[in-house]
């Protein structure tokens, strides 16, 4: 199941001037529906966090709040896991985390879902 990531490539690496993170590494990959931009942020306490968004949204304020119903979420996340694995192989003392962006409950349900309040809670 985890053996079919999308082909990805490292774009660049950036040293940060501020206190945290100390380093950012950028990757990208293409799916049939869109291009993704992946960032690994490395912190001074041997922790790295990975996040991804649509390439065209990379500078947008809400880039990480968007969810796409392209049917390939598993392969997108698998690709991020492979990127994490490659970085970890070069830096075995690092621990990883995924960034997650909380959303409002009314934004969780797709517009075409008509569910009772009980079903909505189960869905959420």
Whether 2 is covered by a domain: the verdict is no
Q: Which two tokens stand for residue 46?
A: 């041997």
The answer to whether residue 31 sits within a structural domain is yes
In a domain, 66, yes or no: yes
pLDDT of residue 123: 64
Residues of the chain with pLDDT below 70 are: 1-2, 100-113, 120-124
pLDDT value, residue 104? 59
32: in domain: yes
| 1 is a domain residue | no
Look at the chain and report how many structural domains it folds into.
Answer: 1
- The predicted model scores a pTM of 0.75
| Residue 42, in any domain of the structure | yes
The answer to whether 48 touches 41, Cβ cutoff 8 Å, is yes
Is position 100 within any domain?
yes
Domain that holds residue 101: 8-123
pLDDT value for 34: 94
The answer to whether residue 46 sits within a structural domain is: yes
10 DSSP β-pair partners: 27
Q: What is the pLDDT of residue 81?
A: 93
pLDDT score for 17: 75
Specify whether the CB–CB gap between 51 and 38 falls below 8 A: yes
């Amino acid at each position: 199941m985890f053996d079919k990531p999308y082909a990805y490539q490292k774009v660049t690496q950036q040293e940060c001037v501020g206190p945290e993170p100390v380093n950012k590494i950028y990757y990208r990959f293409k799916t049939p529906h869109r291009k993704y931009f992946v960032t690994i942020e490395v912190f001074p306490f041997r922790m790295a966090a990975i996040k991804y968004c649509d390439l065209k949204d990379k500078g947008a304020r809400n880039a990480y709040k968007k969810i796409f119903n392209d049917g390939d979420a598993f392969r997108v996340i698998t690709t991020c896991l492979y990127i994490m694995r490659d970085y970890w192989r070069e830096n075995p003392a690092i621990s990883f985390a995924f960034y997650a962006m909380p959303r409002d409950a009314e934004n969780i349900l797709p517009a075409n879902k008509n569910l009772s309040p009980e079903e909505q809670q189960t869905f959420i």
